[in-house]
């Protein structure tokens, strides 16, 4: 019985570590820190997407971000208008919605997806403060 349990746990560990966020084409969702995101924004031509509600976006958002509400019934149609070959950086409030959105975008065929670790909450508390607040 112990052998079966050990084999099961090892197999489960291997499956989780190798297939977590990777597709057949080795396209992955890359979780990035605020510091890494700042560099990506400076070096790459990316689509910066805020997946929070319009009300949250209006309150505060990262400069040059486009708002596409993950909870909107038009979400799938809205992301289909983006360039799948151009890198995308996603963020929400704390990372939950953007992670779900990243999975959907991976399934939709986007080639390079970055997800801001900790969302705008982490970005705000870093020294990157390139945000726009409601007036």
Mark whether 92 is an active-site residue. Answer: yes
Contact at 8 Å (CB) between 38 and 128?
A: yes
User: Which two three-digit tokens encode residue 5?
Assistant: 């349990």
Domain assignment of residue 3, yes or no = no
Those residues with Cβ within 8 angstroms of residue 112's Cβ, 6 or more apart along the chain or in another chain: 27, 30, 86, 87, 88
Query: pLDDT 10s per residue in the chain (135 long)?
Result: 666 654 445 544 444 443 444 445 577 899 999 999 999 999 999 999 999 999 999 999 999 999 999 999 999 999 999 999 999 999 999 999 999 999 999 999 999 999 999 999 888 877 655 666 676
Domain assignment of residue 54, yes or no = yes
Q: Which of 32, 37, 41, 92 is catalytic?
A: 92
Cα 38 from Cα 130, distance rounded (Å): 9
CATH number for 88: 3.40.250.10
For 120, the 3-state DSSP assignment is helix
Contact at 8 Å (CB) between 108 and 29?
A: no
Domain assignment of residue 2, yes or no = no
Q: Residue 82 belongs to what domain range?
A: 24-133
């Amino acid at each position: 019985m112990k052998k079966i349990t050990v084999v099961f746990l090892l197999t489960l560990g291997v499956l989780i570590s190798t297939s977590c966020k990777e597709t057949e084409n080795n396209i992955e969702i890359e979780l990035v820190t605020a510091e890494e995101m700042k560099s990506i924004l400076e070096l790459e031509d990316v689509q910066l997407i805020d997946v929070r509600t319009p009300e949250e976006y209006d309150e505060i958002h990262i400069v040059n971000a486009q708002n596409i509400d993950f909870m909107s019934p038009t979400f799938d149609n809205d992301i289909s208008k983006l360039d799948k070959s151009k890198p995308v950086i996603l963020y929400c409030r704390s990372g939950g919605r953007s992670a779900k959105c990243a999975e959907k975008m991976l399934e939709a065929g986007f080639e390079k997806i970055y997800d801001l670790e900790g969302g705008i909450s982490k970005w705000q508390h870093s020294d990157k403060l390139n945000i726009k607040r409601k007036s």
